[in-house]
Copies of this chain bind each other. A is one copy, B any other.
Amino acid sequence: MAKELKELTPRSESYSQWYQDLVIKADLAENSAVRGCMVIKPYGYAIWEKMQRQLDDMFKETGHVNAYFPLFIPKSFLSREAEHVEGFAKECAVVTHYRLKANPDGDGVVVDPQAKLEEELIVRPTSETIIWNTYKNWIQSHRDLPILCNQWANVVRWEMRTRLFLRTAEFLWQEGHTAHATKEEAEEEARRMLEVYATFAEEYMAMPVVKGVKSANERFAGAVDTYTIEALMQDGKALQSGTSHFLGQNFAKAFNVTFADKDGNRDFVWATSWGVSTRLMGALIMSHSDDNGLVLPPKLAPYQVVIIPIYRNEEQLAQIDEKATQITQALRAKGISVKYDNSDNKKPGWKFAEYELKGIPVRLAMGARDLENNTIEIARRDTLTKETVGLDGIEETVATLLDDIQKNIFQKALNYRKEHTITVDSYEEFKEKIEDGGFILAHWDGTSETEERIKAETKATIRCIPLNGDMTPGKCMVTGKPSPQRVLFARAY
């Protein structure tokens, strides 16, 4: 029975059901009683914590500090920036009252009509407005710049169709908000943070990404330019994994934030904002996992190694316990996180399936024969292969293997992306090929009209205009008008 409990719908049968099964059965997250809001379970949260810690270190290395701004935004703030309100007003949680009272007509409590707010408050969908209203008081002169703040927070966007991690009404994220004296400095910051995100995605999540700029249609509401990293999932759909916005002076103008330069001239402040969210959990899961469960990159796995004893009697277990303790200490001394599972109410087979499902990168199993031979069985989660190795220098063996797994799953994902990235020149071919999924590089005339037509007819969107792409000009596949470079299309999450 235990085995069936862990079985997932195969990806070939239904990728979306496989994803849903995996998130639930690997104890990552579940839906809550509040529509669209998820519960992030301890194992899922442990992965998120690893991500947070690493990103936070990278933000601090690039000179940023953390701060915290209010959960609520006065309704009028949202409309200060015209495009911003357009983008966010339709999916807001609105606080209108501040008290409940006993129900005069029966049980429970009702909203107290006397406790109505003068101005409604919006639960932040993103914090540009409240933060720029705050920065107004922090910035007088060029000496107050730059401001390089980041915030770890929850945000709410009232999505109608939700999926665990990928699209939820409430999600966790970080949002950086920076203020600069010059346009160049702000643009540089926006690109710097794009690089940080790309490095994190590739080196920690082992997830290759394409860096690029969004088209006007896909831009953040209120941004001048939105930079993005785009990843390709195993079902051929793209997933936007992080964005960094050059906001120009839009929010400074909306909130009248000016500074005096060295000569005493006043100008509006330049801005960026950038964020990644628990959506990255979805990206991580879908990039590497298989029909047996999660596959985690060693750098983000809550436990990198699990050790499982295989024994016939208490005496054997005692001997294995002793060896396992030594191995655990040796591994920990090398900075490797280890779980030794000698719980006696579960069979080894159950444990093997459990830790496969949970994506622990390396499994060590030790039995009676291993004790005799001073060996141990070492299995890697990514390839599902195993071998018996000598115990001497096991910590080196494991460290090398973890590095290898980290590299291998990145390479595997990169190969997949290469195999599923094609170049197309005619719209007919595009419409045919888009059905197979994957990235398509094609020429586009740069207009919103053409972009919208393609989306309406094929459900594909421009994921980005690649930053390091082929700069050969050509002709738009739809209109034949000139195009400076190919752009990246895909159907997307």
Contacts and interface: CB of A to CB of B under 8 A. Distances in A.
State the copy count for this chain. Answer: 2
A427 interface: no
Nearest to A49: B66
Contacts of A350: none
A65 interface: yes
A353 interface: no
A333 interface: no
Given A42-B66, A78-B109, A123 B71 contact: yes
Nearest to A160: B98
B96 A68 contact: no
A122 B108 CA distance: 14
Contacts of A154: 71, 153-154
Nearest to A136: B33
Contacts of A89: 99-102, 109
Interface in A78-104: 78-79, 85, 89-102
Contacts of A69: 32, 39
Interface size class for chain A? Answer: 35 or more
A73 interface: yes
A72 B111 contact: no
Contacts of A101: 89-90
Contacts of A143: 345
Interface string A45-71: 110110000000000000001111111
Interface string A305-331: 000000000000000000000000000
Given A49-B66, A95-B123, 12 more contacts: A32-B70, A34-B130, A45-B68, A46-B65, A48-B68, A79-B107, A90-B99, A94-B95, A94-B97, A94-B98, A95-B96, A100-B122
A45 B174 CA distance: 15
A38 B71 CA distance: 10
Interface of A: 30, 32-34, 37-42, 45-46, 48-49, 65-79, 85, 89-102, 107-109, 111, 120-123, 130, 133-134, 137, 143, 149, 153-154, 156, 158, 170, 172, 345
B66 A39 contact: no
Contact of A34 (B40, B49, B66, B73): B73
29 contacts: A30-B134, A33-B77, A37-B72, A39-B68, A39-B134, A40-B67, A41-B67, A42-B65, A48-B68, A49-B66, A68-B172, A71-B123, A76-B108, A78-B100, A79-B107, A79-B109, A89-B100, A89-B102, A90-B99, A91-B98, A92-B99, A92-B100, A93-B121, A94-B97, A96-B96, A96-B97, A96-B111, A123-B123, A153-B154
